[in-house]
Structure 1
């Protein structure tokens, strides 16, 4: 009889762990930094993207079921509230989703996982633009 145990692998494990997420984040910030299509989004960030690369990698790691360092280092933090002061607009939210979509599709081969992530990240990003309006 075949093993009928459901796959209990977390999205974090499915994507390839922190190493793969760091590649996604690196590609995301490279696109944001170099592609003029993301100029408004880039303008919202400091010149040095190094701290943001580390923070987004930590956030995505925790969000996908990996080590929860991002949340443990920021007790009570809310990612939505943290972005409220930045003045996220629908334009910058859509630029964020576009750059993340490209980064994910270029670095992750698990299309169903990518689509699930993008659905949730799109809702989160657009929620930030409503929250700051």
Structure 2
């Protein structure tokens, strides 16, 4: 399929197609967690995750597949999800939120995604990241 026949980002599965379908998404998420693990500025985020990083990768791929307009793999395999509630046990401040977004940006840059797609994804990811931060602040009584 050529770019001229792809739906725009945010329409149908246009975003998922733009990252290369499920295989491109898998590579993106694996790159994201590799950078998180091996980059000192992102390592604190990696340490917040369970030891079974393979399951974490699988869950993020499954979630992002539906989030990007593709098949809702997360609910099929793991059931319903509330992103803020799934992360509510963690202390997520503005620092961790920025770290997460910066790590995703680094993965997108490393994989050579176009500026337009990177900008779109990071803008869209800002909303769920902020909701996770808000729920964490309410639950843990912290302020940034």
- Category of TM-score, reference length = shorter chain: 0.7 to 0.9
- Structure 1 distance, partners of 2:80, 2:55, is 20
Considering Cα pairs closer than 8 Å and 6+ residues apart, tell me whether 1 or 2 has the greater RCO: 1
In the superposition, relative to structure 1, how do residues 6 and 48 fare at CA in structure 2: closer, same or farther (>3 Å)? closer
Could you tell me how far 1:45 is from its partner in structure 2? 1.0
Query: CA RMSD, aligned part only?
Result: 2.0
How many residue pairs match? The answer is 129
Query: Which of 101, 104, 113 is the aligned partner of 1:100?
Result: 104
In the superposition, relative to structure 1, how do residues 37 and 68 fare at CA in structure 2: closer, same or farther (>3 Å)? same
Name the stretch that deviates more: 40-49 or 56-65. 40-49
Gaps of 5+ in 2: 9-13, 138-144
TM-score if structure 2 supplies the norm length?
0.80
* Structure 1 residue ranges (4+ consecutive) displaced by more than 2 angstroms after TM superposition: 5-9, 71-76, 108-111
8 Å contact from structure 2 (residues 6, 17) kept in 1: no
TM-score if structure 1 supplies the norm length?
0.86
